[in-house]
């Protein structure tokens, strides 16, 4: 009892040390990247863009000028995919959980399959089946295929956790099905919805397979532009572009942590 | 689902594309490489994830949230980003060789980003967060009473880990293996940036598609890759049930 | 009462969340990238032949955007072929042989840009299906710092020495036309013909031991940074690294001889912005555009547009006497077979 160091404490400290070491290892490349953009570009050899020479600010201005089209495309894509995924996914999850119909089980399995097949296969399938469909529409379809299962899963979990008791109570008190859904079910789903929205946002913002294979010089997402930057631009420009890519993700993750995002993380790791 | 049907239809309409893919040569090598690399990455990342996942699930310590956020962040990184980060660290003039040069006078690991080891590290980079988060969720439901009972029976920490915790967590470990494995199989960006002499199936698919207009072979490769992924996933899933 | 307040609170939360989520849709109010005047050129790599500078200049003088595109010649041709029924691109830029092949495949429509008469006859198609915009020469681009003490290689024979193990790269010839020109020319240099690839492939097989990668993207920056010490590519890219970017780079014309390479363009069949593209083509042959290409040391096709101070920075003419022109029609005829042979024999099983 009075031992200053118990095995339990040693194990705990060692475990924490391992976790911290892992985090440091994962973050170190990001720090080095940021340093490359801001501090001392010459660490990474000669640079090739004279235009980007004017300090960190000039660098970012140069990158934004270079890829503003891709940024706008990505923002539009996310702006379309997030609401669509929620608008389709939430009622679908509700139907699967609360109002199963003949074939709903297999439909649900079908909707979940994009998670189980390799990303590249899905992208190639879309591309080969593309025909004359507008590219932006295809991108939206591809991203929906990836993100809908996440919404279904998150919302289903939330519905199961909440249970149907309150809804039954509301119904027995005379509320119609719509009223019940709007006033009882939906409000209690808000945390789940916020998390699925963030989830869809994060996945869609970073998605590469579909975006890259379906990209044209006009319709190009930011991750696809990142690849171009890594291959054609010098290190500081690539580093600055990387930081721009991370800019919306890091705050989103911190916000999720603050919200207590178990659900979110589990969803993401699917 | 339609794209998948399209894929299958395209592939089955030209059976010789399938034969080409399965015959010895570049395509089969790429499939075998993908399988080997993804399996290895899955096992190693799960092994490395056990301790941090347990710590996050069980322990409170100052800065825990920050550490967890840091670990989960790479989940959203696209493959090309991970590839770039590995080059930043381990390229011929990457940060690690530079640092090693400062400390020891020899630039160790220079250029290792482009070797198989570099590619493997890149896979680990995006699989470890996935593994940690999936396992953490599982460990959270671990009944501590079991552990306490074992302890009161005199079992030491290692014995408890081997005989109580791990057997209990086995299903979770297997399902985590499945999750990380399938993500690796489909990953494309990392290999696009890093793979030099070594080839993986997604890379061959991309090449067939863009350089040779060989939709049939690309489709057949996709189907083969999907089938492999599905098969191994089932294998893991049976153990996790 | 409490229940009511918390319900209202939840609903407010829900509405706010929705608003936040829908906010990115505001991006639709932003001007779309596709709405300004645009010309889509396949194979428009900013660091190759100063396309970055040329397209920036065109944006400035004409207000037309020509977005960068990372495809190599062969990939550009493949994309045009694939999109034949539903054209995306207006034009493409290739190494001569691949552009010739693309024209043969019926992927181009005729156009003779302003200044057509200034292009030597051997460097254009009589019907206007393709024409040269500038020429380059295959050379070793060597980052001397990254060689880490090894001597600068002077010949193809030198490159086989063990001291260059892991230090040599040339682009995948199934991706880029420059590299295809190198592989085809090398075969002729080693005694092969357009039917017999063995001499070239046997050299490349030996070289394989020293090759670090067969990139399928531009590695201009990798060479400049020192990731890749020796790149077999166009001379101009090396001069640009040396004189424009100030890198520790030398350009070497191999002692055994080398090959010149016309770089050509053509108007795609069904080009969505055909008129805009024609104006762009006219401008590309104008003196300012040709001088802008010359800044990256690709020799302008229009005589007299190479600024004198740039001309002095090339290696002496004695070196360039070793460069021979290759027959584009033979090259185009051999292209598919040679690429396949290279894949089978050199890249092999992709170990």
On average, the pLDDT of chain B sits at: 82
Strands (E), chain C: 41-42, 91-95, 108-109, 131-143, 168-169, 211-213, 230-234, 249-252, 258-268, 299-300, 323-324
Same domain, A123 and A174: yes
Same domain, A13 and A110: no
pLDDT value at residue B241: 59
d(CA C169, CA B21): 28
Residue C8 to residues A188, C4, C14, C15, Cα–Cα distance (Å): 12, 6, 10, 10
The two beta strands, C131-143 and C258-268, are: antiparallel
Contact C212 B26 (CB under 8 A): no
pLDDT value at residue A165: 82
Q: Please state at what angle helix B79-90 crosses helix A7-38, rounded to 10 degrees.
A: 90
Burial environment of residue C25 by CB neighbours within 10 A (0 to 12, 13 to 18, 19 or more): middle
The token pair that represents C23 in the structure block: 């906010």
d(CA B32, CA C24): 42
CA nearest to B218, candidates B199, B205, B200: B205
The pTM assigned to this predicted structure is: 0.83
What is the number of other CB atoms lying within 10 angstroms of the CB of residue C244?
15
Domain that holds residue A259: 69-268
CB A87 within 8 A of CB A196: no
Determine, yes or no, domain membership for A131.
yes
CB C98 within 8 A of CB C177: yes
Determine, yes or no, domain membership for A170.
yes
pLDDT value at residue C112: 95
**CATH number of the domain residue A223 falls in:** 1.10.3720.10
d(CA A269, CA B129): 8
Same domain, A119 and A249: yes
Contact A76 C28 (CB under 8 A): yes
A69 touches chain B (CB under 8 A): no
CB A66 within 8 A of CB A180: no
For domain B13-240, say whether CATH 3.40.50.300 is its number: no
The token pair that represents A263 in the structure block: 């659900």
Reported ipTM: the value is 0.81
Q: How many domains does the structure of chain A reveal?
A: 2
CB C67 within 8 A of CB C52: no
pLDDT value at residue A46: 55
Q: Considering only the beta carbons, identify the residue of C81, C175, C225 that sits closest to B213.
A: C81
pLDDT value at residue C64: 92
Question: B14 pLDDT exceeds 70?
Answer: no
Same domain, A12 and A144: no
pLDDT value at residue C203: 96
CB A249 within 8 A of CB A222: no
Share of chain B above pLDDT 90, in %: 12
- Torsion sign, CA atoms C222, C227, C228, C229: positive
Same domain, A110 and A186: yes
d(CA B130, CA B139): 14
Q: Considering only the beta carbons, identify the residue of C78, C146, C228 that sits closest to B211.
A: C78
pLDDT value at residue C270: 92
pLDDT value at residue C84: 86
Contact B188 A23 (CB under 8 A): no
Same domain, A22 and A83: no
Determine, yes or no, domain membership for A225.
yes
Same domain, A13 and A135: no
The 3-state DSSP class for residue C206 equals helix
Question: B143 pLDDT exceeds 50?
Answer: yes
The token pair that represents A114 in the structure block: 């994009």
What are phi and psi for residue A101, nearest 5 degrees? -125, 165
Domain map of chain B by residue range? 13-240
Per-residue pLDDT tens digits for B201-238: 888 888 888 777 777 888 888 888 888 988 888 888 78
pLDDT value at residue C184: 95
Same domain, A27 and A73: no
Per-residue pLDDT tens digits for A114-158: 777 787 888 888 777 766 677 788 888 888 888 888 888 888 888
Determine, yes or no, domain membership for A49.
no
Residue A258 to residues A23, A24, B134, Cα–Cα distance (Å): 18, 21, 19
The token pair that represents B19 in the structure block: 């034969």
pLDDT beneath 50, residues of chain A? 1, 51-52, 268-270
pLDDT value at residue A269: 46
pLDDT value at residue A191: 77
Which A positions 146-185 lie with beta carbon below 8 A of chain B? none
Determine, yes or no, domain membership for A61.
no
CB B27 within 8 A of CB B239: no
The 3-state DSSP class for residue C139 equals strand
The token pair that represents C178 in the structure block: 């420059």
pLDDT value at residue A48: 58
d(CA C239, CA C218): 16
> Digits of tens for pLDDT over chain C (351 positions)?
444 444 454 455 445 555 555 555 555 555 454 457 899 999 998 888 889 889 999 999 999 989 888 888 988 998 898 888 888 899 999 999 999 999 999 999 999 999 999 999 999 999 999 999 999 999 999 999 889 889 999 999 999 999 999 899 999 998 889 999 999 999 999 999 988 999 999 999 999 999 988 888 888 888 988 888 999 999 999 999 999 888 899 999 999 999 999 999 999 999 999 999 999 999 999 999 999 999 889 999 988 888 888 888 999 888 899 999 999 999 999 998 999 899 888 876 444
What are phi and psi for residue A155, nearest 5 degrees? -70, -40
Q: What distance separates the 2 farthest-apart alpha carbons in chain C? A: 95
Q: Considering only the beta carbons, identify the residue of C166, C175, C350 that sits closest to B199.
A: C350
Determine, yes or no, domain membership for A41.
no
d(CA C308, CA C134): 17
Cα-based torsion angle of the residue sequence C214, C216, C217, C219 in order, rounded to the nearest 10 degrees: 0
On average, the pLDDT of chain A sits at: 79
pLDDT value at residue C46: 85
pLDDT value at residue A263: 53
Determine the residue of chain A that is closest to C244 in CA distance.
A48
Interface A–B counts its CB contacts (< 8 A) at 215
B21: which chain C residues are within 8 Å (Cβ-Cβ)? none
């Amino acid at each position: 009892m009075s031992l200053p160091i118990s095995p339990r404490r040693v194990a705990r400290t060692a475990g924490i040390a391992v976790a911290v070491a892992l985090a440091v290892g994962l973050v170190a490349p990001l720090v080095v990247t940021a340093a490359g953009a801001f501090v001392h570009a010459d660490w990474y050899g000669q640079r090739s863009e004279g235009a980007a020479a004017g300090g960190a600010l000039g660098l970012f201005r140069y990158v934004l000028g270079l890829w503003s089209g891709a940024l706008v495309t990505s923002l539009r894509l996310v702006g379309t995919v997030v609401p669509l995924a929620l608008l389709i996914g939430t009622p679908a999850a509700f139907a699967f959980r609360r109002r199963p119909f003949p074939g709903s089980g297999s439909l649900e399995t079908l909707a979940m399959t994009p998670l189980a097949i390799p990303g590249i296969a899905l992208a190639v399938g879309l591309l080969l089946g593309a025909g004359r469909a507008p590219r932006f529409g295809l991108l939206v379809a591809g991203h929906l295929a990836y993100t809908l299962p996440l919404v279904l899963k998150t919302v289903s979990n939330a519905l199961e956790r909440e249970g149907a008791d309150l809804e039954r109570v509301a119904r027995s008190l005379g509320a119609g099905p719509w009223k019940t859904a709007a006033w009882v079910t939906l409000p209690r789903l808000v945390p789940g919805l916020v998390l699925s929205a963030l989830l869809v946002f994060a996945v869609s913002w970073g998605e590469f397979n579909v975006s890259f294979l379906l990209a044209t010089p006009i319709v190009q997402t930011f991750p696809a532009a990142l690849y171009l930057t890594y291959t054609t631009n010098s290190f500081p420009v690539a580093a600055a572009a990387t930081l721009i890519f991370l800019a919306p993700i890091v705050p989103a993750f911190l916000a999720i942590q603050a919200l207590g995002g178990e659900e979110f993380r589990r969803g993401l790791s699917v | 689902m339609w794209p998948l049907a399209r894929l299958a239809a395209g592939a089955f309409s030209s059976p010789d594309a399938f034969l080409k893919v399965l015959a010895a040569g570049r395509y089969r090598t790429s499939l075998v490489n993908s399988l080997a690399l993804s399996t290895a990455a899955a096992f190693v990342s799960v092994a490395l994830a056990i301790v941090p996942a347990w710590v996050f699930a069980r322990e409170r310590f100052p800065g825990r949230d920050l550490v967890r956020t840091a670990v989960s962040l790479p989940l959203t990184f696209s493959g090309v980003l991970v590839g770039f980060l590995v080059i930043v660290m381990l390229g011929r003039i990457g940060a690690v060789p530079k640092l090693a040069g400062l400390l020891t006078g020899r630039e160790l690991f220079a250029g290792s980003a482009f070797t198989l080891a570099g590619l493997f590290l890149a896979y680990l980079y995006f699989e470890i967060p996935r593994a940690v988060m999936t396992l953490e969720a599982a460990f959270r439901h671990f009944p501590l009473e079991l552990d306490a009972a074992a302890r009161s029976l005199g079992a030491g920490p290692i014995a408890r880990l081997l005989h109580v915790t791990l057997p209990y967590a086995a299903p979770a470990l297997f399902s985590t293996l499945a999750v990380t494995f399938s993500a690796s199989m489909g990953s494309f960006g990392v290999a696009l940036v890093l793979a030099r002499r070594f080839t993986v199936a997604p890379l061959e698919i991309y090449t067939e598609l863009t350089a040779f207009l060989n939709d049939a072979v690309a489709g057949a490769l996709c189907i083969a890759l999907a089938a492999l992924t599905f098969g191994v996933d089932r294998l893991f899933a049976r153990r996790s049930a | 009462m409490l229940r009511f307040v918390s319900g209202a609170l939840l609903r407010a939360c829900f509405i706010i969340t929705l608003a936040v989520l829908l906010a990115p849709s505001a991006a639709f109010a932003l001007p779309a990238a596709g709405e300004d005047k645009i010309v889509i050129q396949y194979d428009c790599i900013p660091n190759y032949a100063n396309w970055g500078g040329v397209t920036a200049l065109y944006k400035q003088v004409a207000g037309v955007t020509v977005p960068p595109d990372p495809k190599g010649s062969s990939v550009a041709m493949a994309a045009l072929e694939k999109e034949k029924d539903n054209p995306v691109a207006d034009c493409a830029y290739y190494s001569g042989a691949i552009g010739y092949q693309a024209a043969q495949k019926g992927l181009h429509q005729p156009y003779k840009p302003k200044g057509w008469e200034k292009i030597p006859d051997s460097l254009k198609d009589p019907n206007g299906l393709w024409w040269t915009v500038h020429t380059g020469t295959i050379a070793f681009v060597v980052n001397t710092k990254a060689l880490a003490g090894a001597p600068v290689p002077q010949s193809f024979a030198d490159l086989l020495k063990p001291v260059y193990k892991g230090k040599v790269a040339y682009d995948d010839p199934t991706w880029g036309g420059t590299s295809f020109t190198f592989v085809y020319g090398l075969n002729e240099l080693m005694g092969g013909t357009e039917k017999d690839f063995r001499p070239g492939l046997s050299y490349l097989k030996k070289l394989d031991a020293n090759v670090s990668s067969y990139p399928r993207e531009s590695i201009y920056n990798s060479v400049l940074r020192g990731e890749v010490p020796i790149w077999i590519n166009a001379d101009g890219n090396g001069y640009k690294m040396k004189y424009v970017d100030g890198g520790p780079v030398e350009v070497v014309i191999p002692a055994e001889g080398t090959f010149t390479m016309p770089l050509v363009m053509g108007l795609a069949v069904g080009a969505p912005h055909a008129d805009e593209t024609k104006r762009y083509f006219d401008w590309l042959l104008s003196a300012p555009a040709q001088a802008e290409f010359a800044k990256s040391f690709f020799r302008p096709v229009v005589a007299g547009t190479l600024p004198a101070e740039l001309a002095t920075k090339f290696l002496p003419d004695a070196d360039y006497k070793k460069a021979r022109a290759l027959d584009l029609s033979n090259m185009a005829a051999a292209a598919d077979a040679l690429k396949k042979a290279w894949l089978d024999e050199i890249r092999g099983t992709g170990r």
